[in-house]
Amino acid sequence: MENGIRKYENFHILLWLIKDLCWVSLSKIMGMIMIVPTVGLAIYITIKNRHDRAELVHNLAVCFWIMANSIWMTGEFFMADSTRGIASLFFFAGLAMMARFYFSAISRLLRKRTNKSV
């Protein structure tokens, strides 16, 4: 299964790059169209990896990142860049999720080391 998901992850990178290229080249219609497959594939990858907590957390963070990125792009295209605050919420949500995951992982590791040395 890992190899199958990896192919989707690699293709997802291509979609994301195309979406962002549309953004920087001010191709509004194509940029907006590219949100759908980019976000859709990120959600699909997240669902497929949901059985592994580490994969789930990282893929959810990617989903938040792409949503933030897409909201920001939409704001720049159509709303005089007024959506950065909303986009920031999605960026922070992904970052908070990752911080919590790594804080828990480090805490578990330190507890294991402490218990071994006692």
CA–CA gap between residue 96 and residue 99 (Å, rounded): 5
Q: 73: which 2 tokens?
A: 């792009």
> What does the block give as tokens for 78?
């159509």
> Domain total for the chain?
1
12 in Cβ contact with 38 (< 8 Å): yes
Amino acid 117: pLDDT = 67
Domain carrying residue 34: 2-117
Mean pLDDT value of segment 72-98: 97
> Per residue in 6-28, pLDDT tens?
999 999 999 999 999 999 999 99
pLDDT at residue 76 tops 90: yes
Q: What is the mean pLDDT of residues 68-84?
A: 96
Q: What is the CA radius of gyration of the chain?
A: 17
pLDDT at 114: 83
Letter string b/e over residues 7-28, b meaning 16 or more CB atoms within 10 A of that residue's CB: eeeeebeebbebbbebbeeebe
